[in-house]
A and B are shown apart, each in its own frame.
Chain A
Amino acid sequence: MATDFWASSHYKRWIVDRATLKQARADDLQYVEDPEHLDLLAIYFANVISKLGKKLQLRQRVIATATVFFRRFYVKNSYCETDPFIVISACCYVAAKAEESPVHIKNVVTESRLLFSQENYNVKNFPSDNTKLAEMEFYLVDDLECDLTVFHPYRTLLTLCRKEATDSASLFGSEEGEAEEAGIGIGTEDGPRYWGTGEGQLEVTDGALQTAWFIINDTYRSDLCLLYPPHIIAIAALYLTFILNPSMRDTVLPHLPTEHEHSRASMPQQSSAAPQPRRSSRQAHHTAPTDSPKKPQDPIAFLADLNVSLPLIATVSQEIISLYSLWDRYKEDAMSEAPRHNRDQAQSPFSGSTGSTSPAKRSAPESRSGSLHAGNSNAGTPMDTREDLGETGWSDGSYVTPAFLSGVLMKMREARLADMSHPASGRPVAINKMLERTQAAG
């Protein structure tokens, strides 16, 4: 089970298609002015989960599990008909238990009340009574169909990649020390990896692994965890890392077919001495400062050898980029100067280093061509589609803040409630009236 994703409840019951997701938001869609607010709410909720998780000192994997629970819950339910805040608390509470690191219910209640009552969220009525959270837990577990084991991309990442030189086991949650389980990734006793037959590990720098880890953290801000198996998300994150992380990019660039193959054809003298073009001296020169005597690896060949659909990886990568583009418009705090200032990434095993910065942001200054931030053309990288993602109208600095989204959410819920109280009056009219009324009032 722990290794057989294909036999898991995650794969069998909780990978859904876009149509299902669309259906799941159908009710909510009637109560928002801009459909994109729903996508922004997805970021907003994930951030809330992450913040609560940090208050409760949950590990990154627990937070990820809580987020997946939250997304699964809202495949079946609507924001407008529920109180997402108590759902968030219950998700964290259950996830901590499901990941074998339980927290006391009283803790969850206290921290939730404290966090949610902040101005941004303005939830003044979060129950102080443990039983309310326990009740929500009960309904949540039912809606989750008791499927509480979740697979995450982190594991694939750590199985695929090996940090240069050092043993990463100590860093990556294996402080367990259980001899036979201590290794990262999937042990040899388990036979082939569950997603294919790729062998060996890609050797990457600390920074690169960190970047990939952060990208994975970021994917939980969207519905990706419902749409794609975790190993696909991990490989897409790794793929993006090749471009975003300077050390990886230098390793990869010589191997890019567009550059390399082409230049070789037109200027054969340039690499005439290389019978194996993917082992060019240029790459060796650019790899990380560690003077490893080993033959440098070719990341592109490594990816190609994985038994996954590369077009699918490309698609998921694009979706991650779309998420970043949307996220650029989300600002945790209206006062803060950087849009991603408060992004919650510190819970990765790298916490303490560059905890609060996103991979995109971190790599942006060093990036020659692959910045996710700059609205410039990014020719030569997979990033150049991002301009099509509806940036217009937002580049003038009009950000969406948690406070704004809290208001959107409250309006949705009030309007829905009004509709349900007056079923005969017909939904569309009632919505608008209610919206106008609350807007006028607020």
Chain B
Amino acid sequence: MLDERANILQHDPMRIYRAKRDAARRTVASKYTILGFISSGTYGRVYKAQSLEDEGQIHAIKKFKPDKEGDVITYTGISQSAIREIALNREINHENIVALKEVILEDKSIYMVFEYAEHDFLQVIHHHSQTLRAPISNAFLKSLIYQLFNGLIYLHSCHILHRDLKPANILITSSGVVKIGDLGLARLIYQPLQPLFAGDKVVVTIWYRAPELLMGAKHYNKAIDCWAVGCVMAELASLRPIFKGEEAKLDSKKNVPFQRDQLLKIFEVLGTPEEKDWPGVVDMPEYQNMKRLDHFSNRLYDWCQSRIRTPLGYDLLRQLFAYDPDNRLTAKEALQHKWFYEDPKPTWNVFHTVPAHQIPPHRRITQDEAPSMMPVPAHNTSHQGHGHGGVPFTQTQSKPGSTASFGSLSGGGPYGQATGGNGAHVSNRKKARMI
């Protein structure tokens, strides 16, 4: 007996503690029925689930991919991305942010239980471009953007940068409430202990990445999220990404390359930035590279003519696309923009003005994946197109927009489920080990 005790103290001192905790813990299966599989990404997988308690409410359960050595699931440390998402979600509470109901830590896996949202911006875009073949109405567009800004104001007032705003990460409930999701790349910027750049070399999916980031800025702020909203607004209006550049991948030394193509895509619409519009541009690390690019002039007004269709809408977009981050409209200022006060006015149910037959279909779930809820299949990590209501994808898998919708954050990188680009993969794997 003494030997065994000594053994516990010497070799597994926390055994009694763990036994106690394990016995007290309520399992996912005891609280939820898994209805089906929604989507997946480098972070793990998202399931649709029904609560066995509170009136059978529907939830989305995000299961972080457990780390494995061979086929054995082991503890390797919770990823920075998961820690962020959990830590931030535990503190925030806003109508326009996806609410975290609870976190269940069970059997080496982390399950985040979120409120369920039936739609997302990407799905709305696909629905209009592929099924309806008609633009999103002004009233609908305005309501979507209004609520998006409303949520963003909250995040920014909490000193949180989202850092991965894109259509796939912005959800809509069946009652027409916009919900910003996916705080896996988000972080607090209040009195950071080290520069933001030190934590994550690359943030924001390439098409939505602000020019200061593309120019290699070491310091950035809330303005990067506002740029991304501008991109989202333009994409909703035109049904395709406004700056659809090719991402230059990290090299073997994980240096961040000059994003030539993405900058060109931006310059083609907004013109080449001038020092008078953006005094800081000359100090940007990539300024010399930028100067070698062809020169363009601003044609945003023309771009908006057929797409945004109102002068005030153009004005809002113009101000969100200000090159100088300091001149870019803040979320707060944007919400007070005259566009939102001109008819048609935004509605709290974004579908209020949408005819019933034009409302996007429900999120598709698949059954075959559902049984894998508990043990994750060993080699099944590349997924595409799940959960988009049968809308075919036009992009290749490595493109940022193709990430599956619900909670499509990437595990610590902005690459979504990029399967191309070895650099991205290497960096993600490296990151997983780092933290």
Q: Which residues of A contact B (CB under 8 A)?
A: 1-4, 7-9, 59, 61-62, 77, 81-83, 86, 93-94, 97-102, 104-105, 125, 130-139, 141-143, 145-149, 155, 173-181, 184, 190, 410, 413-414, 417-418, 420-421
| Contact partners of B92 in chain A: CB under 8 A | 1
Please tell me which stretch of B16-24, B140-148, B341-349 contacts chain A, meaning at least 4 of its Cβ atoms lie within 8 angstroms of it: B16-24
**Chain A interface helix/strand/loop/mixed:** helix
| Contact partners of A86 in chain B: CB under 8 A | 13-14
| Contact partners of A421 in chain B: CB under 8 A | 1, 4-5
Question: In whole angstroms, how far apart are the Cα atoms of A16 and B319 in the complex?
Answer: 48
The 10 A-B pairs of least Cβ separation, nearest first, read: A134-B75, A83-B13, A2-B190, A148-B87, A1-B158, A2-B159, A1-B91, A142-B105, A135-B75, A102-B435
A148 touches B190 (CB 8 A): no
Selected from B5, B14, B20, the residue in CB contact (under 8 A) with A136 is: B14
B190 touches A181 (CB 8 A): yes
Selected from A1, A99, A138, A176, the residue in CB contact (under 8 A) with B196 is: A176
Q: Does chain A have a CB within 8 A of B222?
A: yes
| Contact partners of B192 in chain A: CB under 8 A | 100, 176, 178, 181
| Contact partners of A101 in chain B: CB under 8 A | 193-194
B105 touches A138 (CB 8 A): yes
| Contact partners of B74 in chain A: CB under 8 A | 131, 134
Selected from B9, B10, B21, B219, the residue in CB contact (under 8 A) with A176 is: B219
Give how many B residues have a beta carbon under 8 Å from the other chain's beta carbons.
56
Selected from B14, B77, B105, B433, the residue in CB contact (under 8 A) with A93 is: B77
Which of B17, B20, B25, B195 has the most A CB atoms < 10 Å from its CB?
A: B17
The distance from the CB of A176 to the nearest CB of chain B, in whole angstroms, is: 5
Q: Does chain A have a CB within 8 A of B189?
A: yes
The distance from the CB of B151 to the nearest CB of chain A, in whole angstroms, is: 14
The distance from the CB of B71 to the nearest CB of chain A, in whole angstroms, is: 15
The distance from the CB of B366 to the nearest CB of chain A, in whole angstroms, is: 29
Q: Which residues of B contact A (CB under 8 A)?
A: 1, 4-5, 8-11, 13-14, 16-18, 20-21, 25, 74-78, 80, 83-84, 86-88, 90-93, 103, 105, 108, 157-160, 187-196, 199, 219-222, 326, 433-435
Which of B190, B194, B219, B222 has the most A CB atoms < 10 Å from its CB?
A: B190
Which residue of chain B lies nearest to A177 when distances are taken between CB atoms in the complex? B219
Q: Given A178-B219, A179-B219 in contact, is the A134-B17 Cβ separation under 8 Å? A: no
B16 touches A1 (CB 8 A): no
A413 touches B9 (CB 8 A): yes
A138 touches B75 (CB 8 A): yes
B17 touches A77 (CB 8 A): yes
The distance from the CB of B338 to the nearest CB of chain A, in whole angstroms, is: 23
The distance from the CB of A407 to the nearest CB of chain B, in whole angstroms, is: 14
A418 touches B75 (CB 8 A): no
The distance from the CB of B3 to the nearest CB of chain A, in whole angstroms, is: 11
The distance from the CB of A69 to the nearest CB of chain B, in whole angstroms, is: 12
The distance from the CB of A242 to the nearest CB of chain B, in whole angstroms, is: 25
The distance from the CB of A425 to the nearest CB of chain B, in whole angstroms, is: 12
| Contact partners of A173 in chain B: CB under 8 A | 191, 193
Question: In whole angstroms, how far apart are the Cα atoms of A102 and B79 in the complex?
Answer: 10
B5 touches A418 (CB 8 A): yes
Which residue of chain B lies nearest to A410 when distances are taken between CB atoms in the complex? B9
| Contact partners of B220 in chain A: CB under 8 A | 178
Q: Given contact pairs A176-B189, A181-B190, A181-B191, enumerate 10 new A-B contacts (beta carbons under 8 Å).
A: A1-B158, A9-B91, A98-B83, A102-B434, A104-B434, A125-B10, A134-B78, A137-B75, A148-B90, A418-B5
